[in-house]
Homo-oligomer: A and B are copies of this chain.
């Protein structure tokens, strides 16, 4: 058995980012840049007014002064002339400051009357002018390759005049659920069988992580069916299998994939839930074999599949983000397997949030997993601790899963 960290490191080192594709800016949210965004223009393009008011010469715009209003400069309609001595130009937020002016008189500090304006509050030089390039200048690197684009980044790329983006192709993740005992929701359920929950939970997780799921038909527990489905998944960036429990999770998947050219890297991890986990390669396609148990499959996905999708997407793909929390109950000493306790998370009180493990941790309980807000992490051989002590948790909601 290898450790969680070693397993993740071996998985990540075997993966490389997908190649780039060109997409419209409007489709860029959540995608990962393959090339940096460089400013194609300077913003603001010239000195502009930060407020509605009057463009003035500050030396003249002292309280009580009367200036002649010689024109108007709305945004997008620059004033054609200049502001001469004794003059002012009506100006609006975002409009270019006309030559000659060196400050903006706020409209609330002015009284307009018949082509003139009286200054009621003395103006400081440079006041309420946004300088050319205050935000960014042409040629400046604004967003680096490898950044997942937020709504704010989309706004910045637009302002920098990019209509198209080069992003990593969303990694295509094949999902193959196996087992004689499982049926799709609504389909006839075999005797002693259950409804398959893994394929669509994993497809949702893949979407949450920025991947493109390809759900393959359920493969019954025979080598031929699994090999057939595996062939269908060769165009994937990663093939994920779950289950095959009826004859031992991994013997079947391994024996079925062997004749297809499957090369195993490792298949046992010192963690709970989820000890059995295959990692290997089928020709060029990496293969992650998850346990058939839905809770184990999901916890393994948080530790390994989400980072793998991040890495394929062009992100670094490290461990899941964790939070510090206080234990809501005493925790016993842990054994040699890294444990993940399904827990509630209460952030109502001041200070760190409180994570309380559910009393029942059976790894078949999907209902408990769905209600969990966090996984409490318990390292191998972690000592017992009292309620209130500091622990580390993975907040599930923040992962979108």
Contact = CB atoms under 8 A, between A and B. Distances in A.
Interface string A124-167: 00000010001110000011000001111111111111111000
Contacts of A74: 180-181, 221, 246-247
Contacts of A161: 185-186, 189, 195
A41 B193 CA distance: 12
Given A135-B366, A400-B30, A158 B197 contact: yes
Nearest to A360: B134
Interface in A81-100: 92-96
What is the total number of copies of this protein in its complex?
Answer: 2
Contact of A151 (B95, B150, B398, B401): B401
A387 to B, nearest CB: 19
A292 interface: yes
B29 A207 contact: yes
A298 B151 contact: yes
Contacts of A185: 25, 157-158, 161-163
Contacts of A368: 135
Contacts of A50: 362, 364
A370 to B, nearest CB: 4
A115 interface: no
A147 B143 CA distance: 35
Given A75-B192, A163-B186, A194-B43, A156 B367 contact: yes
A161 B186 CA distance: 6
Nearest to A180: B76
A62 to B, nearest CB: 26
A158 B196 contact: yes
B397 A150 contact: yes
Contacts of A163: 184-186
A196 B26 CA distance: 12
A215 interface: yes
A195 B159 contact: yes
A75 B158 contact: no
A245 interface: yes
Given A44-B194, A192-B78, A366 B152 contact: yes
Contacts of A3: none
A33 interface: no
B203 A26 contact: yes
Given A197-B156, A366-B159, A45 B192 contact: yes
Contacts of A157: 185
24 contacts: A29-B207, A30-B208, A30-B400, A43-B194, A44-B364, A45-B194, A76-B179, A76-B180, A76-B190, A76-B191, A77-B246, A95-B192, A95-B246, A135-B364, A135-B366, A151-B298, A152-B298, A154-B203, A155-B200, A155-B294, A156-B197, A156-B367, A158-B185, A158-B195
Interface of A: 25-26, 28-30, 41, 43-46, 50, 52, 74-78, 92-96, 130, 134-136, 142-143, 149-164, 179-182, 184-186, 189-205, 207-208, 215, 221, 245-248, 292-294, 298, 324, 350-352, 362, 364-370, 372, 390, 396-398, 400-401
Rank and list the top 5 A-B pairs by shortest CB-CB distance, nearest first.
Answer: A76-B181, A155-B201, A74-B246, A163-B186, A76-B180
